[in-house]
Amino acid sequence: ETGVTQSPTHLIKTRGQQVTLRCSSQSGHNTVSWYQQALGQGPQFIFQYYREEENGRGNFPPRFSGLQFPNYSSELNVNALELDDSALYLCASSRGGTGNYGYTFGSGTRLTVV
């Protein structure tokens, strides 16, 4: 079975720009979560999508938004980029909406905002 794939792997954007990150969930998984990981910190939960609906959100402003598609792939959109948005963005997928069957993480997208 294929794991979680994220694209692009690296990205450089200018402050104020918008960015879209993409995630393909593991085969058989219908739930996708997104995390932000700053250097030297643990991952911080952004939001989760289950069956194309957001069903959980962390402490992130509305300029962080997402989508989940019928094939369960997902996008993370960030508007009005700030320097502090520079981080590794991780996508995780699971079966069911609760994650009780375990989460599989992708390798992430390294976003640098200059």
Phi/psi for 61 (5° steps) reads -70, 165
Member of 41, 77, 79, 112 binding another protein (CB under 8 A): 41
Q: How far is the CB of 106 from another protein (least distance, A)?
A: 5
Confirm or reject binding of residue 1 to another protein (CB under 8 A).
no
Q: How far is the CB of 24 from another protein (least distance, A)?
A: 13
Q: How far is the CB of 16 from another protein (least distance, A)?
A: 27
Helix (H, G, I), strand (E, B) or coil at 85: helix
The one-letter amino acid at 39: L
The one-letter amino acid at 77: N
**Angle formed at CA 102 by CA 28 and CA 20, multiple of 5 degrees:** 65
Phi/psi for 83 (5° steps) reads -55, -35
Build a one-symbol-per-residue string for 84-113: x at contacts with another protein by CB under 8 A, - elsewhere: ----x-xxx-x-xxxxxxxxxxxxx-x---
Helix (H, G, I), strand (E, B) or coil at 68: strand
List contacts with another protein (CB under 8 A).
Answer: 4, 31, 33, 35, 40-45, 47-48, 55-56, 58, 88, 90-92, 94, 96-108, 110
